[in-house]
Amino acid sequence: MTELEESIGYHFKNRKLLTEALSHSSYANENKRNRRSNERLEFLGDSVLSIVVSQYLFEHFSHLPEGELTKIRASLVCEKSLHIFAGKINLGKFLLLGKGEENTGGRERASILADAFEALIAAVFLDGGLEAARTHILNFIPEDVEAQRHAAFNDYKTILQEVIQQNPEEKVEYVIVDQSGPDHNKAFTVNVCLNTNVIGVGTGRSKKEAEQMAAKEALKLMGYDEAQ
């Protein structure tokens, strides 16, 4: 763990937070006694990541409208980018995985690495505060960040949000309705709801992928070419 701390330039006061951030659900399930997975930290880290990236873009790209900022942010916080960020610190090497996940390539799986990266953000945030988390996150923002606006063309959630924003009273929500399979081969099903009406259903190997597929289906049903 010291090697990982050196890699990210942050040393934990509470090492238990770092251990939790690295603990995949498959490992926690096999070591139930006093062991928690990183799923709760992932939830918090997702929000911390979003606010830090949003503020950074707001302050550094005052010439861009809201829609462009949204696309850049989406491309920076998507699973693909988080997988790349995790690779820069060799995060997979430090993960605590169950035997099934270990034997099926879990250390290289994009969804697991992306989730662990978000959990690590939360651990830094809880241990050192927002400024520590901000410093950690901004180390991964690429120099050509503005070019990221062109990388979001497959971000169906962002496209759907832009469509829905044309009617401010409407609200979009993503709801996990099913998850099945062993830890190393999970399948998630997500409904995307407009107010209380289901407008799309998606499945995927991760929650993020399932949400994207649900948004894609919703766009197709609405007749938007971006989802083709």
In this structure, the chain runs to a length of 228
- Annotated catalytic residue within 46, 115, 127, 183: 46
In this predicted structure, what is the pLDDT of residue 166?
76
Range from 5-14, 22-31, 150-159 that averages highest in pLDDT: 5-14
> Which residue type sits at 83?
H
Output the average pLDDT for the chain: 89
Q: Mean per-residue pLDDT for 166-182?
A: 87
Residues of the chain above pLDDT 90, percent:
58
So what's the pLDDT on residue 87? 94
Which two tokens mark 103?
Answer: 């034997």
On whether the CB atoms of residues 77 and 162 are closer than 8 A, the answer is no
46 is catalytic: yes
- The answer to whether the CB of 214 falls within 8 A of the CB of 220 is no
Q: Which residue has the tokens 């034997």?
A: 103
Give DSSP secondary structure letters for 132-188. HHHHHHHTTS-TTGGGGGGG-TT-HHHHHHHHHTTSTT--EEEEEEEEES-GGG-EE
> In whole angstroms, how far apart are CA 142 and each of 79, 147, 164?
16, 9, 29
Per-residue pLDDT at 52 exceeds 90: yes
pLDDT at 228: 47
CA distance linking residue 95 with residue 139, whole number of Å: 21
DSSP letter at 92? G
DSSP, res 31:
S
Percent share of the chain, pLDDT over 70? 93
Distance, CA of 202 to CA of 183 (rounded, Å): 19
- Confidence band of 147 (pLDDT split at 50, 70, 90): low
* Short-list 143, 136, 141, 138, CA closest to 4: 136
To the query of whether residue 178 is one of the catalytic residues in this protein, the response is no
**Smallest Cα–Cα separation from 140: which of 94, 95, 86?**
86
pTM here?
0.72
Cα end-to-end distance, the chain, whole Å: 44
More confident of the two residues 92 and 153: 92
Please identify which of the residues 20, 42, 115, 118 carries the catalytic annotation.
Answer: 118
